[in-house]
Structure 1
Amino acid sequence: MEDLQNVVKDLKNVRGTGANKIFTMYLNTDLSDPEQQSGEWKIHLKNGLNNFEHYLREADDQEELKNFQKVKKYVKDYMAEIGRNLRRGVIIIASADGEVWFAERVQMKVENEFQWEEIPELAQLKTLSEKYPKTGIILVQQNQVKLIDTNLNQVRDTAEYELDVEEDTWKIKQGPRQPRSTTGLGSGNLQKELFNARYKANQYRWYKSVAPKLDKQAKDREWKRIFIVGESPASKTLETEMNKEVEEVILKNMLDHEESKVLDTVLD
C-alpha cells in the first residue's frame, strides 16, 4: 500500500465540477468489533449508497444521478471483490469519470462516513497517515532481537538478530527461529546458569554493539516512530545506546508473540 501522506497530498488538489462530484467512503469492516458480528458493514454500505441515490432522484438531477450511479457500481464491484478478505476498514475516494480512484483495505479502525461533494473528505485519512507512519518495533530478549517493520498498522517485513556467543557478535538470523542458543556452554541446568552469568556480565556491551545495526535499519527503512519492547534492563540499555529517538519503551516480553498481537499492543 502506498504512503498515505502522499495520497493525502495528491487528493488535496482534487476538485469535482458541476454534476461530476467526488465520492468519499470510510467503512468500518472490523469483524472483531462487537457492532460488526453480523456483518453490519453491508447494511451501512447499502444505506450509505442508497441515501445519496434517493436524494438525487428527489432533486431530479439526472446528470448527477447518472454520475453517482456509475460510482455506486464501481464501489459495489470493489466490495464484492474484497468481501471475503476484509481487514478493519475500507476507504474509497472516486469520481464517475475515473479520474479519481483510491480504494484500499486498511488494518486501522475507521468511522463510517459517506460524502458526495466537490472535494474529497480527507480528515480521517490525514489522521490515519499521522498516527500510523512507517514504524519500527524492536523486540529484545537476552541474546535475540527481532525487528517488525510496519506501515499503516500492517507488517511490511521482519528481521532477527541473534548473538553468536562464541564469536561475540550479532548476526542476522536465517531461517525459522530456534529456542535460545547457548551452544558450547555446557548442558542442562549448568548450561543455563553459565549463560545467565555470561549474559549478566556482558549484556551492556552486547546491546551497545547491536545498537548501530538497529540505527541503520531505522534509517534504511525510514522509520518515523520507534518502539522498544522487552524486559528491563535490556530494553532500557538499547534505548540509551541507539542514536535514533525511541518514542516509547514497553516493558513486556513479547518476542514469541504473534506479530499481530504485538501491533495491537504497541500501536492501538
Structure 2
Amino acid sequence: MSLAKIIEEIKSKHDETGVLTIHLNTDASSGNLSNGEWKIHLKNGLKELKEDVKDKPSELKALKKLQDKVETEIAVHQREMRKGFILIASADGELWRARVLQVPVTTSFHWGKTAETQQIEALEQQFPETALVVVQQAKVTFIETSLGIIRDTKKYSWDVESENWVDPEEAAQSLARGGGKDEFQHRFEENQHRWYKSLAAQLEKEVKDRGLEGMYLIGSKESVSELESHMNSGKLKGVITKNLGSKPEHEILNEVFETLI
C-alpha cells in the first residue's frame, strides 16, 4: 500500500474512545538524544496523556492498554532506531501503524478521536516515495524507499549475449561463457551510450509501474552523467556523485538521506 493511501486510511479512522499518535525523535546525532533520552521523552509523553484523561475511566483504561503494546513494539524495533519513529493506534484495535524512519520528526504525543497526521503529511511531501538507483558501471541496484525505509530492491546487470539488462546471476553465467572481464570491459566502453539509454527506459518504466514520485541517481560522476543524459528530467529527483555500489543497501540508504536532509 502506498504511503498516500496509508495516510488516507489513518485520517479516515474515527474512534470515540481515542486514537493515539506518537512522533518520536530518536536521532542519536541530536545533542540531547545522544544517550537515548528519547526513552525518557516517550515515558513522560505517555504519562502526560494519562494525566489528561485521568477523569475519563474508559479512555484511561484504553490508553494504558495501548501503552503496553507501544512499549512492546518499541522494544522490538529498538536496535533499528535511526532518526525517528511514528506510531498511530486506535483504542478499538482496528488501526495500528508503526514505522521506524530515516528522516527526523519532532517529538509529540496526541490523544483524540482522530489521529494527528500533520507531521507525516509534511514528511510525505518532503520525502516522497522514490527510488535510489545505485550505478556501478554495468551493475545497477534499484532501491524503492518510503520515508527512508527500504520497501523493495531490484538488481540489474548487463548481459553481453542477450544485450539486455538482466538479473545479476544470468549476467555472471554469460560472462563466464564469454571472453572474460577484459573483453566485457572493452565492449562496455564501446557501447556504454547505447546500453545506458536502454537502462534509462527500463528504470523509468519501473518507477511508473511502482507509482513512485521519481528517482535519485547515485554513483561515480562518469556513470551517473551518462545515465542522466538519457533520463526524463520529470522523473529525476536529483543526482548524488558518491561511489556507494559496494556498500550494503541499508548503508547506502543512510548515506543518501544524510546528504538529502
Same fold (TM over 0.5): yes
- Determine if the alignment matches structure 1 residue 29 to structure 2 residue 16: no
Structure 1 contact 149–157 (Cα < 8 Å) conserved: yes
Instruction: Give the Å deviation of 1:196.
Output: 6.0
The 3-state SS of whatever aligns with 1:15 is coil
CA contact (8 A) 2:158 2:171 kept: no
Which residue number in structure 1 is paired with residue 35 of structure 2? 38
2:148 aligned with 1:153, yes or no?
A: yes
**Alignment check: 8 A CA contact 2:87 2:96 kept:** yes
Question: C-alpha separation between the residues in 1 aligned to 2:219 and 2:80?
Answer: 33
Distance 1:54 1:169 in 2: 63
For 1:5, the equivalent position in structure 2 comes to 4
Question: 1:21, 1:119 within 8 Å by CA — same for their partners in 2?
Answer: yes
Which residue does the alignment assign to 2:99? 104
Q: CA deviation at 1:115?
A: 1.2
Task: Give the whole-Å Cα distance in 1 for the aligned partners of 2:161 and 2:89.
Answer: 59
1:73 to 68, 75, 79: 68
Q: Structure 1 110/184 Cα, relative in aligned 2: closer, same or farther at 3 Å? A: same
Residue 32 (structure 1) shift: 5.5
Contact 1:159 / 1:173 at 8 angstroms: preserved in 2?
no
**Residues 70, 216 of structure 1: CA spacing in aligned structure 2 closer, same or farther, 3 A cutoff?**
same
Partner of 1:204: 193
Tell me if the contact between 2:244 and 2:252 (Cα under 8 Å) persists in the aligned partners. yes
CA distance in 2, matches of 1:47, 1:146: 42
Query: C-alpha displacement at 1:12, in angstroms?
Result: 1.8
- SS for the counterpart of 1:254 is coil
The answer on 1:266 being equivalent to 2:256 is yes
Q: Tell me the percent identity.
A: 36
Residues 170 and 45 (structure 1), Cα distance of their counterparts in 2 relative to 1, 3 Å cut: closer
Q: CA deviation at 1:84?
A: 5.2
Q: TM-score, normalised by structure 1?
A: 0.77
Match of 2:240 in 1: 250
**Alpha carbons 1:208, 1:241 under 8 Å: kept:** yes
Output the amino acid matched with 1:11.
I
Checking the alignment, whether the CA contact within 8 Å between 2:26 and 2:82 is kept in structure 1 is yes
CA distance in 1, matches of 2:180, 2:58: 79
- The answer as to whether partners of 2:15 and 2:91 remain within 8 angstroms in 1 is no
Q: 1:9 offset after TM fit, Å? A: 0.7
User: How many residue pairs get matched?
Assistant: 256
CA distance in 2, matches of 1:157, 1:99: 26
Alpha-carbon deviation of 1:40? Answer: 1.6
Q: Deviations over 1:11-39 (max 9, x none)?
A: 2223343xx23221112234555543332
Q: Rate the CA distance shift 1:92–1:245 in 2: closer, same or farther, 3 A.
A: closer
Going from structure 1 to structure 2, the CA distance change for 1:84 and 1:167 (only over 3 Å counts) comes to closer
Q: Is the partner of 1:248 in helix, strand or coil?
A: strand
Q: Distance in 2 between matches of 1:174 and 1:197?
A: 21
Tell me, yes or no, if the aligned pair for 1:31 and 1:39 is still in contact at 8 Å. yes
Q: Which residue of 2 aligns with 1:49?
A: 46
Structure number with the higher helix fraction is: 2
Does the C-alpha gap of structure 1 residues 78 and 211 become closer, same or farther in structure 2, counting only changes over 3 Å? closer
| Aligned 8 A contact 2:15 2:92 in 1 | no
| Corresponding residue of 1:130 | 125
Cα deviation 1:49-86 (Å, max 9, x = unaligned): 111223333xx344443343333333234334444554
Matched residue type, 2:132: I
Q: Give the letter for the 2:246 counterpart.
A: D
1: CA distance, partners of 2:69 / 2:206: 40
Gap regions ≥5 residues in structure 2: none
Partner amino acid for 2:190?
A: A
Matches within 5 A, 1:101-250: 101-165=96-160, 168-174=163-169, 184=179, 191=182, 198-243=187-232, 245-250=235-240
Tell me which amino acid in the other structure corresponds to 1:116. W
Name which of structure 1's ranges 218-227 and 80-89 shifts more when overlaid on structure 2: 80-89
Q: What is the distance in 2 between the residues matched to 1:210 and 1:95? A: 45
